[in-house]
Amino acid sequence: MKARHLAVLALATLLFSPARAAVKDDSFQDADGARVLRESVVVDAARPAVWAAFTDDGAFMQWSGVPVAHITPGNGGTIEFGLMPGAKIGDPGNVRHRIVLWLPDAMLAWQNEFVPAGGPFDPATFATVRTVMTFEDAGAGRTKVTETVIGFATGTRYDELYDHLRGGNAEYLIALAGRFGKN
């Protein structure tokens, strides 16, 4: 639980800055009735810079507020980050995602492989959903970043996960936009 509080505190610093971005929520139910969580933000930076914010270790740590991160690029690569001060890459309590789609400057998709237990949602449930980030030109050197999470089934565990991600994903999209200044 401490790790979650530290991450929220780190993001809170960015959340209440003058550069607070507007997150658009376009969530919906698909043709089969399954929930699709979709949120987006326009960032005041060109696509290569925003892509680097997700795929470069130092840039990722700068906006996300995590003390350590490592991204192994490419399909089958990984996104790993620690939540606790003093964390090191390879620590057993780090969050790890497997990259399932890597299309430079355009799309990044992953599946969670590990998240510490004791948080507000069931880790095994989180492993069943997929997250897709798209990066689109938004004119005037800006980039629209859209995060879509699919795979939500019915039931309490999925409800808890959906509610957590709906709030948390918007927070980190705001933090990302704040990294590049007012939008």
pLDDT tens digit sequence for 74-101: 999 999 999 999 999 999 999 999 999 9
Tell me what the mean pLDDT of segment 100-106 comes to. Answer: 97
Query: pTM here?
Result: 0.87
Where is 64: in which H helix or E strand?
A: helix 57-64
Size of the chain in residues: 183
Model confidence pLDDT, tens digit, residues 120-145: 999 999 999 999 999 999 999 999 99
17 pLDDT tier (thresholds 50, 70, 90): very low
Asked if 107 contacts 28 with a C-beta cutoff of 8 angstroms, the reply is: no
What is the enclosing helix (H) or strand (E) of 100?
Answer: strand 95-103
